[in-house]
Amino acid sequence: MKKTLIITASLFSLLFLTATAYAHFGMLIPETSIISPAKKTINFELSFSHPFEQVGMNLVKPKKFSVYKDGKETDLLSSLKESKLFGHKAFTSSFNFKRPGMYTFYMEPTPYPEPAEDNYIIHYTKTIVSAFDEGEDWNKPLGVKTEIVPLTRPWGNYSGNVFQGIVLLDGKPVPYCRVEVERYDKNSKLKAPHECMITQEVLCDANGVFTFTCPKSGWWGFAALNDADYKIKGKTVELGAVLWTEMFAY
């Protein structure tokens, strides 16, 4: 009888893990995507979470946290401070914008072991910020392992706008790549009518381009997923190209 109870409990745990294995997102969220002269210093939250449900996971200190401007990369790793988000380990940082222009913030995490999927996850995460109404090269790739290059200006957009991007892996477009989409608003009490609506999904076309209409204001995360051509400790590796963009209420 005891053995039967153990087996039943184990099966229930497995089913629970499977049922709750929602989309993971590397998250790099600033206070705002548009910087004005009145507020030149803003804070950032770095986490690994389920954004729509506001459920966290522990984020080990990233391998890289930096900002790109005018083709120059500046290391920001030393600016990170350990914090908590949704009850799990996360990090915060702040940045002072001294000059007009477009700033691309980038996080490369330490590989995350995911028991529920028996793999490792690496989400290369970008967020693009405009300072003082400047920035024109928002459609240029950084040249990292995998990334989403926006085809819609990634700031100053209204809710309801169409957002497009192209998925690159090793610098090349990925045809028919699956892209997961979730909304994040820390103050939102919105609940999805059905479980399948927590994470939206779209496919890229033959040229690696995806299209999505963001129906509400808030931060929207796009995660393009591909398997790496290598393994970590014998397990497959999910490579995520993640891009966050802010939509404003009309």
User: Running DSSP on this structure, what letter comes out for residue 197?
Assistant: G
In a domain, 4, yes or no: no
Which residue bears the tokens 């120059």?
Answer: 72
β-strand pairing of 119-131 with 235-248: parallel
The predicted model gives 94-119 an average pLDDT of 95
* CB neighbour list of residue 38: distance below 8 Å, 6 or more residues apart: none
DSSP assignment of 14-68 equals: HHHHHHT----EEEEEES-SEEBTTB-EEEEEEEEEETTTTEEE--PPPSEEEEE
In a domain, 94, yes or no: yes
Token pair for 204: 């890229």
What is the pTM (predicted TM-score) of this model?
0.89
In a domain, 181, yes or no: yes
Q: Which residues of 193-224 are buried (b: 16+ CB within 10 A; e: fewer)?
A: eeeeebbbeeebeeebbbebebeebbbbbbbb
Residue 7 has pLDDT above 50, yes or no: no
| Helices of type H across the chain | 2-19
Reported as a single tens digit per residue, the pLDDT across 171-189 is 999 999 999 999 999 887 7
In a domain, 9, yes or no: no
Q: Is 54 exposed, middle or buried (0-12, 13-18, 19+ CB in 10 A)?
A: middle
β-strand pairing of 25-30 with 41-50: antiparallel
Reported as a single tens digit per residue, the pLDDT across 177-234 is 999 999 999 887 778 888 888 999 999 999 999 999 999 999 999 999 999 999 999 9
In a domain, 1, yes or no: no
pLDDT for position 248: 96
The predicted model gives 145-161 an average pLDDT of 97
In a domain, 17, yes or no: no
pLDDT for position 75: 98
In a domain, 8, yes or no: no
Residue 5 has pLDDT above 60, yes or no: no
* Number of separate domains in the chain: 1
In a domain, 200, yes or no: yes
* CB neighbour list of residue 196: distance below 8 Å, 6 or more residues apart: none
Residue 3 has pLDDT above 50, yes or no: no
Reported as a single tens digit per residue, the pLDDT across 116-146 is 889 999 999 999 999 998 888 899 999 999 9
Which residues on adjacent β-strands are paired with residue 93?
44
Range of the domain at 234: 22-248
pLDDT for position 6: 38
Instruction: Give Cα 244 distance to the centre of its chain.
Output: 6
pLDDT for position 22: 61
Token pair for 149: 């290059």
Residues for the chain: how many in total? 250
The terminus-to-terminus CA distance of the chain in angstroms comes to 61
